[in-house]
């Protein structure tokens, strides 16, 4: 241990005390303050430069905490908050869908009918019912009605099929499923021994109950729950996107849903006159919580759409006079790919809020559509690491205030072993915070008596355990591991680097797939693409491979290779290409790469066209070339 590191900090207060004793406080102040300013001038400059940003951030986070604490103290839940607001203004429109308008009273009556169906059927608090329905106001009303009895609703991704769907229903322990008619074939094919309720369409199976007919028979009065519903009770199960395997059911209690809705209200400073445009899937937190929650809990008028349309986004915002728009994943890139129109800037949008806007297209997106403010947020359904970029800093997902000591932050970027993703610990056995511009794992300290710091985990306890580390910054504490690699600059801005497990090592260097994907997509003309590492024989590390959507085979490989050379270092350039007709997306517009990565680059097994980087271009990867690569005849 360096003795100077211990002696110098300890000796400074002693030295100042001696000086004060002999020459007085005034002269010590006049001499030491200028010295400190010179000594810490860079740090002081950073604090002053970021102070307006940080004060605004702390103030808005404070508003979120204050609002949620108020509901916690009075043991309010989503149902009781909604009904409290209902009593004040029952005729207030809260959901717009196509040409239909849903008031609070409409939502109340529909949800009461739902509650009465399952109350009479004998369902009870903590039972789980699956909901697989395309976007519509009835989706929200259905789970709200179930919540009035304390029933937990498992929100099922409408893109799931076969084994994935079975897995979700089984892992959530659903006793029944409610589905819309457009999901009928999927549900009937995958699910057998479960009670089924179909909404809309024609019932063709006598084992399926007519949900709409049952609704008409029910009272619009709210049933009294047999057991009280608490602030901390489970409300929803929301499944992870499944980009790295089968989806996992994350637990979303009433407290967490309230927090999500209050986050939108406070971070965006939402007013009662605002109108939110929400084309996101309602089965995920971004659409169903951040997007739909303010309408339910605060009466903010919200536009819902069956599904996202790049060409209709701005048109819809103009039609409904929306002031706040939501985005997620690759939506903004799809909007940019649509041919420009004179109406692109004729909207009333003040803000757009979401996550996943790539830095490579951020500026172009803002310029084309003239969006005054883009609020990029970062968070996870099951996690407690939630930050936001409130000042339009391109590429940043949020910031940490610089006028506060790092020890006060409930989240941090910690050093990890790049090979194992395990935390690197110091001699004291505790985790080590990353330095400025050093990539590391983003973690959130767990504090069970604070709604914003709680970690509720998954239905599967073993999966929950995997996401928690112990003895982080002091013995006995614990933290949620986000699984995301982040980096913080000296101004406190935090940037997403990659998903842990996606980063691979090649030629002795770490390659962040998200950064390579951004470059590849840009130079390939905003095409869908995903990048991953593939094992090549006995070579160390993994070689980069890019899967690109190019069904018309329009890509000029020589131009493409040259553009990559100008934008990426040699070790990050994809060695192999796979040309696809389409890439499978999750419901949140994230690309699935696990299957592609598993298949590797073997032309004997893969039917898609494969290419190999040779010299200034890419050439077809034949079985002969493949064999030569594996035996080392062809060097890479």
245 pLDDT more than 60: no
> Given pLDDT bands bounded at 50, 70 and 90, which one contains residue 34?
low
- The CATH topology of domain 403-447+467-498 is Luciferase; domain 3 (2.30.38)
In 302-458, where does DSSP find H-type helix? 313-320, 331-337, 359-369
pLDDT computed for residue 5 by the predictor: 40
Question: Does the pLDDT of residue 590 top 70, yes or no?
Answer: no
Task: Using alpha carbons, select from 573, 577, 532 the residue that is nearest to residue 244.
Answer: 532
| Range from 80-89, 211-220, 244-253, 464-473 carrying the lowest mean pLDDT | 244-253
Q: Which whole number is the average pLDDT over 269-294? A: 95
Domain positions in the chain: 3-39, 78-259, 403-447+467-498, 502-630
Give the model's confidence band at 566: pLDDT under 50 very low, under 70 low, under 90 confident, else very high. Answer: confident
CATH number of 78-259: 3.40.50.12780
| pLDDT greater than 50 at residue 198 | yes
Buried b (16+ CB within 10 A) or exposed e, 24-51: eeeebeeebeeeeeeeeeeeeebbeebe
Instruction: Identify which has the larger pLDDT, 576 or 541.
Output: 576
Task: Indicate the average pLDDT of the chain.
Answer: 89
Crossing angle for the helix pair 78-88 and 137-147, to the nearest 10 degrees: 110
Q: What is the DSSP letter of 175?
A: S
Sheet holding 208-210, edge to edge: 208-210, 195-199, 176-180, 128-132, 152-155, 234-239, 249-253
| Mean pLDDT confidence for 478-486 | 92
* C-alpha pair distances (Å), 17 with each of 20, 22, 38, 40: 5, 9, 21, 21
pTM of the model: 0.81
Q: Tell whether the model's pLDDT for residue 271 goes beyond 90.
A: yes
Helix or strand run (H / E) with residue 384: none
Residues 439-474: tens digit of each pLDDT: 999 999 999 878 778 899 999 999 899 899 999 999
Bridge partner residues of 543 (DSSP)? 534
C-beta contacts of 49-54 below 8 A and 24+ residues apart: 49/491, 50/399, 50/401, 50/402, 50/403, 50/491, 50/492, 51/402, 51/403, 53/390, 53/391, 53/399, 54/399, 54/401, 54/402, 54/403, 54/404, 54/492
Closest by CA position to 232, among listed 257, 209, 214, 215: 257
In the predicted structure, residue 394 carries a pLDDT above the cut 70 = yes
Helical segments of 75-134, H only? 78-88, 104-121
- Exposure letters 418-453 (e unless 16+ CB within 10 A, then b): beeeebeeeeeebbbbbeeeebbbbbbbbeeeebbb
Mean pLDDT of 11-27: 54
- Give the integer Cα–Cα distance in Å for 4 and 216: 79
Q: How many CB atoms lie within 10 A of CB 60?
A: 18
Q: Which fold has domain 502-630?
A: GMP Synthetase; Chain A, domain 3 (3.30.300)
Q: How much is the pLDDT for 18?
A: 55
Choose the most confident range, by mean pLDDT, from 154-168, 225-239, 379-393.
225-239
pLDDT average, residue stretch 313-332: 94
Residue at token pair 């996690």:
383
Reported as a pLDDT band with limits 50, 70 and 90, residue 429 is very high
């Amino acid at each position: 241990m360096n003795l100077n590191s211990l002696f110098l900090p300890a000796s400074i207060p002693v030295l100042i005390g001696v000086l004060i004793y002999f020459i007085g406080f005034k002269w010590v102040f006049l001499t030491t303050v200028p010295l400190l300013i010179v000594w810490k001038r860079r740090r002081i400059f950073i604090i002053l430069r970021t102070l307006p940003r940080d004060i605004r951030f702390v103030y808005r986070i404070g508003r979120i905490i204050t609002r949620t604490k108020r509901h916690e103290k009075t043991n309010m839940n989503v149902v009781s908050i909604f009904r409290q607001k209902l009593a004040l203004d029952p005729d207030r429109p809260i959901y717009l869908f196509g040409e239909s308008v849903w008031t609070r009273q409409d939502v109340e009556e529909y949800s009461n009918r739902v509650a009465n169906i399952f109350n009479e059927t004998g369902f009870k608090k903590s039972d789980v019912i699956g909901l697989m329905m395309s976007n519509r106001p009835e989706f929200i009303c259905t789970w709200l009605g179930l919540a009035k009895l304390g029933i937990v609703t498992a929100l099922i991704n409408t893109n799931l099929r076969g084994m994935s769907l079975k897995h979700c229903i089984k892992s959530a322990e659903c006793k029944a499923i409610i589905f819309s008619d457009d999901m009928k074939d999927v549900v009937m094919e995958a699910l057998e021994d479960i009670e089924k309720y179909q909404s809309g369409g024609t019932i063709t199976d006598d084992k399926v109950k007519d949900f709409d007919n049952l609704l008409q028979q029910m009272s619009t009065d709210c049933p009294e729950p047999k057991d009280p519903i608490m602030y901390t009770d489970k409300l929803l199960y929301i499944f992870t996107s499944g980009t790295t395997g089968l989806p996992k059911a994350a637990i979303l209690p009433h407290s967490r849903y309230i927090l999500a809705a209050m986050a939108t209200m406070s971070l965006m400073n939402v007013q009662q006159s605002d109108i939110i445009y929400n084309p996101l899937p309602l089965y995920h937190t971004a659409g169903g919580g951040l997007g739909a929650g303010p309408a339910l809990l605060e009466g903010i008028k919200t536009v819902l759409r069956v599904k996202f349309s790049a060409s209709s986004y701005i048109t819809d915002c103009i039609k409904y006079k929306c002031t706040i728009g939501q985005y997620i994943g690759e939506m903004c890139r799809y909007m940019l790919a649509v041919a420009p129109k004179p109406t692109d800037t004729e909207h009333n949008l003040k803000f757009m809020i979401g996550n996943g806007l790539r830095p490579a297209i951020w500026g172009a997106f803002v310029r084309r559509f003239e969006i005054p403010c883009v609020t990029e947020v970062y968070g996870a359904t099951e996690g407690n690491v939630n930050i936001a970029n409130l000042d339009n800093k391109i590429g940043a997902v949020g910031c940490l205030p610089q006028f506060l000591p790092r020890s006060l932050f409930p989240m941090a970027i910690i050093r990890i072993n790049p090979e194992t993703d395990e935390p690197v610990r110091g001699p004291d056995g505790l985790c080590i915070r990353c330095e400025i511009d050093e990539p590391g794992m983003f973690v959130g300290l767990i504090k069970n008596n604070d709604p914003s710091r709680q970690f509720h985990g998954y239905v599967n306890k073993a999966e929950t355990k995997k996401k928690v580390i112990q003895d982080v910054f002091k013995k006995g504490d614990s933290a949620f591991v986000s699984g995301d690699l982040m980096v913080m600059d000296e101004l406190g801005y935090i940037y997403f680097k990659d998903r842990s497990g996606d980063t691979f090592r090649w030629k002795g260097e770490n390659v962040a797939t998200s950064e390579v994907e951004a470059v590849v997509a840009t130079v390939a003309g905003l095409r869908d693409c995903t990048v991953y590492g593939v094992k090549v024989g006995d070579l160390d590390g993994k070689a980069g491979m890019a899967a690109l959507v190019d069904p018309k085979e329009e890509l000029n490989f020589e131009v493409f290779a040259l553009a990559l050379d100008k934008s990426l270092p040699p070790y990050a350039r994809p060695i192999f290409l796979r040309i696809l007709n389409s890439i499978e997306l999750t419901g949140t517009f994230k690309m699935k790469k696990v299957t592609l990565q598993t298949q590797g680059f073997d032309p004997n097994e893969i039917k898609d066209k494969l290419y190999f980087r040779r010299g200034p271009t890419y050439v077809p990867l034949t079985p002969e070339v493949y064999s030569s690569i594996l035996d080392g005849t062809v060097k890479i």
